[in-house]
Amino acid sequence: FWTDVNPSVWIVTFVLLTLVVGLSFVRLFGEVEFVFAVLKILLVVFLVVLGLVIDLGGVRGTPPVYFRYWRDPGPFVEYIATGHWGRFLGYWSVMTGAVFSFAGVESIAMAGAETRNPRKAIPAACKNVFIRIVLFYMLAILIVGMLVSSQDSRLDRESGDATQSPFVIAASAAGIPAIPSVVNAVVITSAWSASNQSLLAGTRVLYGLAVKKQAPKIFLRTTSWGVPYACVFLFMTFSLLSFMSLSSDAITVFWWLVNLTAAGVLVSWISILVNHIRLRLAMQKQAIPITRLPWWNSWTLYSSYFALFMCIIILLTGGFAVFTKGNWNASNFVSAYLDIPLVLAAYFIWKFAKKTKIVALADIPLQRAFERADQKYESLAS
């Protein structure tokens, strides 16, 4: 978007900044994410208010829009097919992008081991995330649907920059030229925030695997303040993929990475849900009351089954377009489904090589785990 500066300068700058945050105290990560969260919240609030002003005709020379675009042409766009089925496919085709947008919400728990009092901090953080999603995501989507027609040709441009944002399109139509730069600035900081979260989550998972002897010992190496620097350096090598955006097909590469990331996120969520379901079933099997958990509710077992079903369906249909007539594309197929065989291969190779077995629900040492957690909590409280 800001073409007066070579894109490689921005890439190198943010890669180095991410490396600095990744090697620093986890407290610095928390402070940086707090600042980014405030910036994103302020941007969303600003855009929502601006959108309402434009929609209600508050900008001189711009007539009110209200819910005009909800009636004509309507909120859903036909994709591949026509009629109701085509509109459903149009809705379903954005699921991968939606998953990509929510990637990282599970990273809250990743920092639990480095949190002073996770029994209080993690539930509070989860509640804040839920409130932000409901208030800001849903409200912003509502306003976007009111501002711009679903058939606006500017939404289909392959620029991939801030000018493609519905808020920017509406602001430009209302004669407010400064909005694209504001949106682009916050989007860049949000991208940096996402890289920080991904680095934190990835390095902690890899370190945990090394602790369990499921990854090479070299990844156990940490700084004097406890950061697994070997894991950080490994993950930072993948940041070099960002230089692929310098090619003429940058937008195509971007969607490949979106598909790969979304599939990886779904695999991660599926693993989390399976473990949560087994935890609840094991507690029932061993007659351990749910109140032993520091944060719980009675319906999560059922919601976990539903979420697991939805994650599997979205994962399996993420690249459905390539199976329709005339839309086969090998690169899109690979980017949508590569993660599945990789994960299954890693799982079964380890299982057969180490001859591991799935632990029966009655044999999972939950009581000992709860006792150790209680002892740690009491030591922190004293």
> Are 288 and 316 in a shared domain?
yes
pLDDT of residue 262: 92
Question: Could you tell me how far CA 81 lies from the centroid of its own chain?
Answer: 29
Listed in sequence order, the residues at least 6 apart from 338 whose beta carbon sits closer than 8 Å to its beta carbon are: 260, 263
> Are 16 and 119 in a shared domain?
yes
> Are 151 and 238 in a shared domain?
yes
Question: What are the distances in angstroms from CA 190 to CA 13, 183, 249, 369?
Answer: 15, 10, 23, 37
Among 313, 309, 317, residue whose Cα is nearest residue 333: 317
Give the type of residue at 323: F
pTM for this prediction: 0.83
The pLDDT tens digits for 216-266 are 999 999 988 888 999 999 999 988 888 877 776 777 888 888 899 899 999
Which of 212, 246, 280 is a domain's end point?
Answer: 246
Domain count, the chain: 2
Give the type of residue at 314: I
> Are 241 and 275 in a shared domain?
no
> Are 235 and 310 in a shared domain?
no
**Other beta carbons within 10 Å of 318:** 23
Q: Contact, 65 vs 53, CB < 8 A?
A: no
Which of 189, 212, 246 is a domain's end point?
Answer: 246
pLDDT of residue 365: 92
Angle (nearest 5°) at CA 275 between 270 and 276: 95
pLDDT of residue 133: 78
Q: 7-23 and 229-237 are packed helices; what angle lies between their axes, rounded to 10 degrees?
A: 160
Range of the domain at 374: 249-382
> Are 30 and 154 in a shared domain?
yes
The two tokens of residue 236 are: 């930072």
Task: Calculate the CA dihedral of residues 114, 120, 123, 129 and round it to 10 degrees.
Answer: -70
Q: Contact, 32 vs 192, CB < 8 A?
A: no
Helices (H), the chain: 7-23, 26-55, 68-71, 83-92, 95-102, 107-110, 118-132, 138-147, 166-173, 179-211, 229-237, 250-285, 300-316, 330-337, 339-354, 366-381
> Are 122 and 207 in a shared domain?
yes
Residue stretches of the chain with pLDDT short of 70:
1-4, 110-114, 157-163, 248, 380-382
Give CA–CA dist 376/370, Å, rounded. Answer: 10
Q: Contact, 318 vs 263, CB < 8 A?
A: yes
pLDDT of residue 256: 86
Angle (nearest 5°) at CA 337 between 334 and 339: 105
Which of 223, 246, 269 is a domain's end point?
Answer: 246
pLDDT of residue 166: 80
Q: Contact, 252 vs 334, CB < 8 A?
A: no
pLDDT of residue 217: 92
pLDDT of residue 255: 84
The two tokens of residue 270 are: 């599926």
Q: Contact, 206 vs 215, CB < 8 A?
A: yes
Task: Calculate the CA dihedral of residues 66, 69, 71, 75 and round it to 10 degrees.
Answer: -120
pLDDT of residue 306: 96
Listed in sequence order, the residues at least 6 apart from 209 whose beta carbon sits closer than 8 Å to its beta carbon are: 215, 219
pLDDT of residue 69: 85
> Are 229 and 311 in a shared domain?
no
> Are 14 and 2 in a shared domain?
yes
> Are 254 and 240 in a shared domain?
no
Listed in sequence order, the residues at least 6 apart from 267 whose beta carbon sits closer than 8 Å to its beta carbon are: 315, 339, 340, 343
> Are 141 and 230 in a shared domain?
yes
pLDDT of residue 167: 76
> Are 217 and 82 in a shared domain?
yes
Give CA–CA dist 371/200, Å, rounded. Answer: 28
